[in-house]
């Protein structure tokens, strides 16, 4: 049965919507935070939330606090009408899409600093990015008060940051992580893929293929992360359109670099392809098991 999609633009509206639902049904509330311009990655989170929540809330907020000065805040792709249609079809009940001054009114000063998990990888090239992410997600948790929230493995460091703040700040909710949804040629779906020219789009899957190289080496028993990273870098460097930012192999919870693979390990890459900054990652098998336990 088609549900009616409610659109809330203010915190008060959203709160009264959730409050009424809880009072009337006592059901579970699920939250999927997004910046909109939906693709199958976003929709997979909404469908997962639909399966185990009575009320599914999706936030659409292009959060200025997580963009650096020279980044793509103004150009970030947006299409509210299409998003609403797709969310409705995925079974979402409520869209929360506040204007910026609703989330950051005059006088706003507090930030949430997730600590060392936010410092390496994307935290190095995007200083302040994860403070912005942690702050807005903490606000969304407080505004919506969900029983559970869904995030994508595609943004592995963001997942680690959110798990850290949920534990440290005692948010009473469960965090679910869904697998990365990919195009047929392996490119991780991302709202930013629209920035790619036709030629750049053809070359962009090199990132995923480099991760598969890492996976293959780890499966064959290689535990020396230096060797794996060198092979990945060599492979990416052979593509003239891809400007590598980093290749890392880290502990998926702490985001600390690993010299050897002896337990859970995540290979992660970031690169510029034309004007698009793309990230991707893959969980590597724990040596004794030789099987990935992703999501
Ligand atoms: P964004 O709108 O890019 O902030 O993403 C909103 C949520 O969707 C985040 O939890 C992302 O990790 C998740 N997401 C983005 N792309 C993908 C993808 N390709 N597969 C799975 N989840 C994704």
For the chain, the DSSP string reads -PPPPEEE-SHHHHHHHHHHHHHHH---EEEEEE-SS--HHHHHHHHHHHHH-SEEEEEE---GGGS-TTSSTTT----HHHHHHHHHHTT--EEE---HHHHS-TT-------GGGGTSTHHHHSTTHHHHHHHHHHHHHHHH--SEEEEEGGGHHHHHHHHHHHHHTT--SEEEEEPPPB-TTSPBP-GGGGG--HHHHHHTTHHHHHHHHHHHHHHTT--BHHHHHHHHHHHHHT-TTEEEEEEEEE-TTT--B-SB-SS-EEEEEEEEETTEEEEEEEEEPPTTT-S----
From the CB of 155, is ligand 1 less than 6 Å away? yes
The mean pLDDT value of the chain amounts to 96
| Ligand 1 atom closest to 150 (CA) | 10
CA separation for the pair 133, 6 (Å, rounded):
25
Share of the chain above pLDDT 70, in %: 97
From the CB of 41, is ligand 1 less than 6 Å away? yes
**84 among known catalytic residues:** no
pLDDT at 29 over 60: yes
**pLDDT grade, residue 287 (50/70/90)?**
confident
Considering 42, 84, 176, 290, which one is annotated as catalytic? 42
pLDDT at 53 over 60: yes
Which of 30, 31, 42, 281 is the best mutation target for the ligand 1 pocket, counting ligand atoms within 8 Å of the beta carbon and taking the most? 42
pLDDT in tens, 211-254: 999 999 999 999 999 999 999 999 999 999 999 999 999 999 99
| Ligand 1 atom closest to 191 (CA) | 3
pLDDT at 3: 67
Q: Distance between the two ends of the chain, CA-based, in angstroms?
A: 30
From the CB of 255, is ligand 1 less than 6 Å away? no
From the CB of 192, is ligand 1 less than 6 Å away? no
pLDDT at 1: 44
pLDDT at 288: 72
Q: Which of 132, 41, 72 is nearest to 277 (CA)?
A: 72
Query: Average pLDDT of 243-272?
Result: 98
pLDDT at 289: 52
Measure 279 CA to ligand 1 centroid, in angstroms: 11
From the CB of 178, is ligand 1 less than 6 Å away? yes
Query: Average pLDDT of 197-203?
Result: 97
From the CB of 191, is ligand 1 less than 6 Å away? yes
pLDDT at 52: 95
CA separation for the pair 242, 277 (Å, rounded):
10
pLDDT in tens, 119-169: 999 999 999 999 999 999 999 999 999 999 999 999 999 999 999 999 999
State the pTM of this model.
Answer: 0.96
Measure 47 CA to ligand 1 centroid, in angstroms: 13
């Amino acid at each position: 049965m088609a549900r009616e999609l409610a659109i809330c633009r203010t915190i008060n509206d959203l709160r009264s919507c959730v409050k009424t639902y809880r009072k009337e049904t006592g059901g579970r509330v699920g939250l999927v935070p997004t910046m909109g311009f939906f693709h199958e990655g976003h929709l997979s989170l909404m469908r997962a939330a639909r399966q185990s929540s009575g009320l599914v809330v999706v936030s659409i907020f292009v959060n200025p606090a997580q963009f650096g000065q020279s980044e793509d805040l103004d150009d970030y792709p947006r299409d509210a009408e299409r998003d609403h249609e797709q969310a409705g079809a995925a079974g979402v009940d409520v869209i929360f899409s506040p204007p910026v001054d609703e989330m950051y009114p005059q006088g706003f000063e507090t930030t949430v600093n997730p600590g060392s998990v936010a410092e390496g990888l994307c935290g190095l090239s995007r200083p302040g990015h994860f403070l912005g992410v942690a702050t807005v997600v903490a606000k969304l948790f407080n505004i919506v008060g969900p029983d559970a929230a869904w995030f994508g493995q595609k943004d592995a460091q963001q997942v680690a940051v959110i798990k850290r703040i949920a534990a440290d700040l005692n948010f009473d909710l469960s965090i679910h992580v869904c697998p990365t949804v990919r195009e047929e040629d392996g490119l991780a779906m991302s709202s930013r893929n629209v920035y790619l020219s036709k030629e750049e789009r053809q070359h962009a899957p090199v990132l995923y293929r480099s991760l598969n190289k890492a996976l293959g080496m780890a499966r064959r028993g290689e535990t020396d992360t230096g060797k794996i990273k060198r092979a990945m870098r060599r492979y990416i460097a052979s593509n003239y359109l891809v400007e590598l930012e980093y290749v890392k192999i880290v502990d998926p919870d702490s985001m600390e670099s690993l010299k050897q693979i002896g337990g859970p390990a995540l290979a992660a890459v970031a690169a510029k392809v034309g004007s698009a900054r793309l990230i991707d990652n893959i969980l590597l098998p724990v040596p004794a098991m030789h099987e990935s336990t992703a999501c």
